[in-house]
Amino acid sequence: MNTSTLNASQLAAVVYNEGPHLVIAGAGSGKTRVLTYKVAHLLEQGVAAGHILALTFTNKAAREMKSRICQLVGEESARYLWMGTFHSIFSRLLRQEAQLLGYTHDYSIYDTTDSKSVIKHIIKDMQLDDKVYKPSVVHARISMAKNKLQSPNLYAADREYLMRDRFEKMQEMARVYAEYNRRLKAANAMDFDDILVNTNALLNKFPEVAEKYQELFQYILVDEYQDTNRAQYMIIKKLAEQHHRICVVGDDAQSIYSFRGADISNILNFQKDYPEAQLFKLEQNYRSTQTIVNAANSLIRHNKGQIRKEVFSDLNIGERISLSTHMTDRDEAKAVAKQVQRLAPSVYSYDDIAIMYRTNAQSRVIEDELRQLNIPYRIYGGTSFYQRKEIKDALAYLRLVTNRDDNEAFLRVVNYPTRGIGDTTVGRLMEASRLNKCSLMQVAIAPERMTDDLSAATQKKVSEFAQMIERFAEEMLTKDAYVFAQDVMTQTGILREAKSDTTPEGVARYENLEEMLSSIHEFCERRQQDGIDFTPIADFLAEVSLLTDQDEHLDDMQERVTLLTIHAAKGLEFRATLIVGMEENLFPSAFSQTLREIEEERRLLYVAITRSMDRCFLMNARQRFRNGQVTFSTPSRFLKDIDRQFVLNTDEVVHRPAPKKEIPTITHTHSHLTPTTGAKEKSKRKTIRSEWAKDDRVMHRVFGAGTVLDVYRENDNDKIDIQFDAVGKKTLLVTYAKLERLV
């Protein structure tokens, strides 16, 4: 393995494996590269792949990391790595040990929609006010409690929870939580949070199991450690108890998910947990210009709760961050759209540009203005493929076949496609289920014995549905996932119903179902490549249930400006970013009052700024339409935290000469745009870079290989047209192209 591409700090972190160590990786510092090389180094040192546990937060990150490891050491060496998300790895572990906790190995995993459905039924059955006990709110509170490893009993005894629930007139929350857990257990099901809760319980209640996995996982690596919650922290700590060979990688300055249960103290206190731990700092940023890095440093320096580091960049100095104030949010949106228009497609492609905001509601007015100028855009984090109704319906059939006690799956498909089993019948089946203390499927198998409330005709319809599911369950044992899923979707009539609808929406649904079958086929093929000849449908369901939003792919290849919340932007990078809404009570949020909360908001802005490679624009408005009324705003306190030498604001535009720069600066004066390119700069840009000529073969780090079409000057900018093999023609600024010659 060639480590010559690693800098000294990266190499030191890669080769050290003697005990616990913390790798603090600044933004753009090559964290993934270090983790990849670290695993590869362990394998080269003779550590068996099956003894290495590498935990990530997305399946995409795990797949990419494993692919790179395979390139470094070969597929055979890396085949048996325990590498994946917390939930996928621990779900795999629980499949083997679930019976110790009272589950069967084929338990279902409920996603958020399933969980909210259970909660909705509980609220109805307990005759609670659904306007007070909103399923989404109840689910969030239960999830947060589970992330903190608080059982219903501990929840009921927590004074802070009780006071909050009483204040919000939700005094029955503890009972709802307890009933929710009971129903999941009765359905042989776990939600996402239960995977962690139950893994923790397994390791602490059964010492022999803990010892087994402590011995198995001799080397533990954790990515994005700053995002771990209490449950994840406790599991990791328990697993590392025997060998202490644990490496955690992260950046406390990018801890922004406390609302999901993430606890920054996990990374801040790592050296207290392991006093012998070694500390490695990755401080060289390979993404952003010096100015952007310095600006971000000056901002985050104001946080007290942090591990100090000094991130630096050896890239070009670059433009100062542009700061502009506008009269209204509409003016701000107009300025955003005009700025994008000036940047793309002449300077950057649309894909190179991101517009970021603190809350989703801010996107509406920006979308309006982008549409006015015919600027293509995408909303990052829209409805994911596996959350679409027709897909969830199809998956529910497959779930019910693999786990006949899955009541939520039963309710979703018992009358889909329509087979004459209406809401009244379903209600009577649910009542019989409660009275007989059994699953809905058990009632459906023998409705004549379970209830007297159904007519003979209705009983026949219900039992025929149950018989179909039972028949599928027998076939499941001998058919691989793809063949089986195809049979189920054909025989149930799902495909036929979708195909019969010739409206655009119906055609889209049918195409989605076909695409789902394709995804199952690809899954089976991947398993075959790993040496697994037979893939049961349960394995595919386990993977799908654990997909995260970051794992979803865009529907098309058209270049578009990306609109997204800053929380969704973490881990991404763009050539140019526009960050809007830099106002008090918006950023920082009005809900952030304590020092801890304000510091997280400051970290959020740090994340936003460090997504930028070349250009960063900060914008605010003096008045904004929010919550049905116009509110007057003051600039965000965070703007004062950024050292002024790295910021270009309106006063500087009016009273000071523009700084030296490689790209003409475009700055705002309230709602209009003013180009500010100095004469001296124009004189410096007369000579076209001569090393590139027509038909030269070049390599670009983003677009790949291509052929030079033309090199020319336009509007005082030296540009190069390149026909890239993979993405077509692109026009780039010569200065920023960063091309390599292909021989």
| 437 catalytic residue (yes or no) | no
Kindly name the residue from 254, 562, 577, 610 that is annotated as catalytic: 254
What amino acid occupies position 156? A
Kindly name the residue from 224, 319, 406, 408 that is annotated as catalytic: 224
Cα separation of 407 and 496, whole Å?
25
**Which tokens is 348 given?**
């950057």
| 458 catalytic residue (yes or no) | no
Cα separation of 470 and 446, whole Å?
12
Instruction: Indicate the DSSP class of residue 583.
Output: B
| Residue 479 Cα to chain centre, angstroms | 33
Cα separation of 198 and 78, whole Å?
28
Residue 217: helix, strand or coil by DSSP?
coil
Cα separation of 313 and 291, whole Å?
9
What amino acid occupies position 649? N
| 252 catalytic residue (yes or no) | no
Kindly name the residue from 32, 341, 359, 550 that is annotated as catalytic: 32
Cβ pair 175, 181 in contact under 8 A:
no
Residue 307: helix, strand or coil by DSSP?
coil
Kindly name the residue from 10, 31, 228, 543 that is annotated as catalytic: 31
Residue 351: helix, strand or coil by DSSP?
helix
Cα separation of 418 and 660, whole Å?
69
| 224 catalytic residue (yes or no) | yes
| 31 catalytic residue (yes or no) | yes
All residues at 6 or more sequence positions from 533 whose CB lies less than 8 Å from its CB, including other chains: none
Residue 247 φ then ψ, to 5°? -125, 120
Instruction: Indicate the DSSP class of residue 657.
Output: P
Kindly name the residue from 399, 404, 412, 611 that is annotated as catalytic: 611
Kindly name the residue from 111, 179, 191, 223 that is annotated as catalytic: 223
| 694 catalytic residue (yes or no) | no
Angle subtended at Cα 562 by Cα 558 and Cα 566, rounded to the nearest 5 degrees = 160
Angle between helix axes 389-402 and 537-545 (nearest 10 degrees) is 130
**Which tokens is 7 given?**
């800098």
For the chain, the C-alpha Rg in angstroms (whole number) is 28
Q: Could you give the residue numbers annotated as active site?
A: 31-32, 223-224, 254, 611
